[in-house]
Amino acid sequence: MLVFSSHHVRGGGEAIVFTGELVHRDYLHWTSERDREWEIDVRHFGVRVLRQHPLLIDFDLSNSSLVFGVGREDYSAAVHAYEVLLRRAAVRNGIPGGSADEMRDAFRELIIGRINDLILDIPNLSDNEIIFGLAAIAVVLDDGHTRIGLPMGDVFPVELIALYDGIYLIGVPEEYEHALHGELLAINGIDIDEIMERLSAIIAHENEYYLRQKVTMPMIYDPIRFRHYVVRPFLREFYVLNYLGVIDDSGRASFSVRGISGEIFNIELKATSESSLIRHEFNTLMHANPDGIFWYEYFPDKSLMYVRINSFASIEEMATFNAASRSFMTELESRPTSEKMRTIIIDLRQNPGGNAEWPARADFAILSESAYYVYAIIDGGTFSKAVINTSHIIHRMENAIIIGEPAGQIDNMFSGGANLLPNSRVRYNISSMMWAGSDSEDVAIRPDVFIPLMIDDIISQHDPVLSYIFGR
């Protein structure tokens, strides 16, 4: 439904052109076609987020099609989770506390004001700057699933990995082989922590652990094609670093590195579309079958079953995932009761989520009865459905132990898929559902046993988590 609204004027004389409502094309603020097309896109995103995001609408917590997890069984848990998420997002945006209705109204006004300001600035901004402006508005919602697809172009020829104690180079140009496995300290003299702070203003995330992974890890879920694909991480992307003021238009940058022997030096790089790199090759068990969406291996000498889940399946991959998981459960069920295993490991590290529900409700009893101990391994790259399924393991298996590093947030918002802005065709996601998976107010799901992955482990091809479990 189109709603016609006239222009108003703020107290300072600045026009109010966006009130949270759609307007007919004849009532757009700008007159040039380029500016009008972007105004339509910005308005479109603003209206969609105001009408859809759970933190901005009168969200029906009793509706089981909108609330999942513990909230489907316990209404009070859903209310608690919702209020925690709303209050946390409000505090981070300087919104004073109060009732849920008061915070939600203040949040809506904040979003309306930010959309309005972006519309008024359209003629002064490049296309990319408008996209980044929308991304910054999405970040306000404190939700890793509400996001804008950022511009991608040339990248700096390095590959990175975020470990618990820093960000390291695992791919470098041949002339800088001495920098392999070095720690990235700064770019053009700007400390990496400062760069991460700037990235946090435009990259949708729910906590620092996922943010670090998202700007470095090479595997990202593509909600348009519904599959995983290799991308150029934001921390080495020219357009992103240029927008953040880390690099200038020349596309050249000085990367400050602490080498593995402790010396600090710079490597001079230029953003490019093609590069030949010396790369670290991963030979640990979790990397043994990178194309296998769900695979497992039994170690009879240790009475141990290792299950590796690289993702929880795109729509296209669901049949493959379901067949593999059913095969695994059938194998467990067929084992004689006298052959109860000592350990089952479910490795969810670097799993960005997907669509599959596993373990299914009927699987938990089988898993519990098949082994004395069940370990679920998580890290900062465990996100979305991978966190939800970890939450199921926590709540439904008494013999489950969570191990590894902090991951995504249990209680969270999530979206059903991607859309495109009408004119620019920029991809965007807006959450419309809520997962209530705990009574915790923590920003992360944390392991019972904390074992971080360090650069020495990477170099020596050592998996400290599996070593710990295999040694028990």
Q: Are residues 365 and 458 in the same domain?
A: yes
Residue 166 forms part of a structural domain: yes
Which of 246, 279, 312 represents a domain boundary (last residue)? 279
Task: Return the DSSP state at 312.
Answer: B
Tens-digit pLDDT profile for residues 32-50: 999 999 999 999 999 999 9
Cα separation values, 126 from 38, 44, 226, 243, Å: 10, 19, 30, 11
- What is the rounded CA–CA span in Å between residue 78 and residue 439? 9
- Please report, for the domain that includes residue 307, its CATH number: 3.90.226.10
Whether omega before 359 lies within 30 degrees of 0, making that bond cis, reads: yes
Query: Considering its fold, how many domains does the chain have in total?
Result: 3
Q: Are residues 243 and 335 in the same domain?
A: no
Tens-digit pLDDT profile for residues 51-110: 999 999 887 777 766 776 654 456 777 788 888 888 888 888 898 878 889 999 999 999
Q: Are residues 452 and 345 in the same domain?
A: yes
Residue 52 forms part of a structural domain: yes
Residue 304 forms part of a structural domain: yes
Q: Are residues 113 and 196 in the same domain?
A: no
* DSSP string across 386-420: HHHHHHHHHHH-TTEEEEES--S-SSEEE-S-EEE
Residue 16 forms part of a structural domain: yes
In the prediction, which pLDDT does 72 show?
Answer: 47
Q: Are residues 266 and 305 in the same domain?
A: no
Q: Are residues 292 and 193 in the same domain?
A: no
Q: Are residues 216 and 119 in the same domain?
A: no
Average model confidence (pLDDT) for the chain?
Answer: 87
In the prediction, which pLDDT does 5 show?
Answer: 35
Q: Are residues 267 and 180 in the same domain?
A: yes
In the prediction, which pLDDT does 14 show?
Answer: 67
Residues 6+ apart with CB under 8 A from 327: none
Residue 430 forms part of a structural domain: no
pTM: 0.89
- Please report, for the domain that includes residue 164, its CATH number: 2.30.42.10
Q: What is the 3-state secondary structure (H, E, C) of 111-166?
A: HHHHHHHHHHHHHHCCHHHHHHHHHHHHHCCCCCCCEECCCCCCECCCEEEEECCE
Q: Are residues 274 and 303 in the same domain?
A: no
Candidate from 39-43, 134-138, 216-220, 304-308 with smallest mean pLDDT: 216-220
Residue 252 forms part of a structural domain: yes
Q: Are residues 346 and 455 in the same domain?
A: yes
Tens-digit pLDDT profile for residues 71-80: 445 677 778 8
Q: Are residues 185 and 233 in the same domain?
A: yes
Candidate from 130-134, 177-181, 289-293 with smallest mean pLDDT: 289-293
Centre a 10 Å sphere on the Cβ of residue 98 and count the other Cβ atoms it contains.
13
Average pLDDT, integer, range 176-202? 96
**Which amino acid belongs to residue 414?**
F
Q: Residue 241: which of 231, 251, 229, 256 has the closest Cα?
A: 251
Which of 279, 312, 339 represents a domain boundary (last residue)? 279
Q: Are residues 180 and 251 in the same domain?
A: yes
Task: Report which secondary-structure segment, H or E, holds 191.
Answer: strand 190-191
Residue 417 forms part of a structural domain: no
Residue 190 forms part of a structural domain: yes
Tens-digit pLDDT profile for residues 367-405: 999 999 999 999 998 988 898 888 888 888 888 999 999
Average pLDDT, integer, range 188-197? 96
Which of 279, 311, 332 represents a domain boundary (last residue)? 279
Domain limits at 23?
Answer: 8-125
Q: Kindly tell me the sign of the dihedral angle through the C-alpha atoms of 139, 145, 146, 150.
A: positive
